[in-house]
Chain A
Amino acid sequence: GESVGLHLPTLSVQEGDNSIINCAYSNSASDYFIWYKQESGKGPQFIIDIRSNMDKRQGQRVTVLLNKTVKHLSLQIAATQPGDSAVYFCAENIGQAGTALIFGKGTTLSVSS
C-alpha cells in the first residue's frame, strides 16, 4: 500500500554541521505532514509541521521543505548539536475523514563532537 518512506536509514554528522533528513511520500492526497524526533525510550516529540498549501516552514533551527511535484519532504537542522541525536520520523495524513498520521521508516541521526 501507499506509505511514507525515507531515503536513508542513518545519517552521521559532525557537531555544528547542517543536517538534512529526507522523506519521500507516495500518496498525492496527503495534505498534512509532521516531523517527529524520538529519543531512546521516549515517545515521539513534535518538531515541526507543514500543510500542502505551503512549501517551506521554519522553526527554531529547523526548516521543513515540501515539494509536492516530486512528493518529497525534508527536514533541515542548522548547527546540529549532540542533543539532536535521535531517530527522526516523517508522518503524513491524507486529511480525509477516517484517517490519521501514518509514519515513515525513520532516519537515525548521529552527531559526533
Chain B
Amino acid sequence: DTEVTQTPKHLVMGMTNKKSLKCEQHMGHRAMYWYKQKAKKPPELMFVYSYEKLSINESVPSRFSPECPNSSLLNLHLHALQPEDSALYLCASSQELNTEAFFGQGTRLTVV
C-alpha cells in the first residue's frame, strides 16, 4: 500500500462551522505533513509531525488545528475559517523527515 488517503475530497463550509480533514497512510511512515495550495501556486507548508509530535508550525492561524492521533492518522480541525482559506489541502507522509514524501489527492475546501 503506497497511498496517502484524504477525506473528504470536497468540502464546503460556512464561516461559523467546525469541520475536520482526515489523512491516513499505512506505509509505516513516521513523518506526516499538511500543505495548503491555492490555484496556480505551489504547495505551502503548514504543519509537520514527526513520530506523532508536532515538529513544525509555519505560523499558521489558530483557526487551523492539527492533530496526530497515531502514526497512521493526521487530522486538520477547522473552525471559524475565512473565504480566503479556500484552497486545496494536501497531506503527505514520508518514512522520516528529509526522505521521499508521498502526497494524497487533497481536499478541495470552499469557505462560504
Q: Using a CB–CB distance below 8 Å, which chain A residues touch chain B?
A: 31-32, 34, 36, 41-46, 49, 89, 93, 95, 97-106
User: Which residues on the B side are within 8 Å of A34 (C-beta)?
Assistant: 100-101
Given A105-B42, A106-B41, 14 other A-B residues pairs in contact with their CB atoms under 8 A? A31-B98, A43-B103, A43-B104, A44-B43, A44-B103, A46-B102, A89-B42, A97-B55, A98-B56, A100-B31, A100-B33, A100-B45, A100-B48, A103-B42
Q: Which label, helix, strand, loop or mixed, suits the secondary structure of the A interface?
A: loop
Q: Which label, helix, strand, loop or mixed, suits the secondary structure of the B interface?
A: strand
Q: Which residue of A lies closest to B43 (CB)?
A: A103
**Cross-chain contact of A99 among B98, B99, B105 (Cβ < 8 A):** B98
Whether B106 pairs with A42 at a CB distance below 8 angstroms is yes
**Cross-chain contact of B98 among A41, A45, A89, A95 (Cβ < 8 A):** A95
In the complex the two chains form, what is the Cα distance from A93 to B6 in whole Å?
Answer: 24
Annotate B42-55 by CB proximity to A: 1 below 8 A, 0 otherwise: 11110010000001
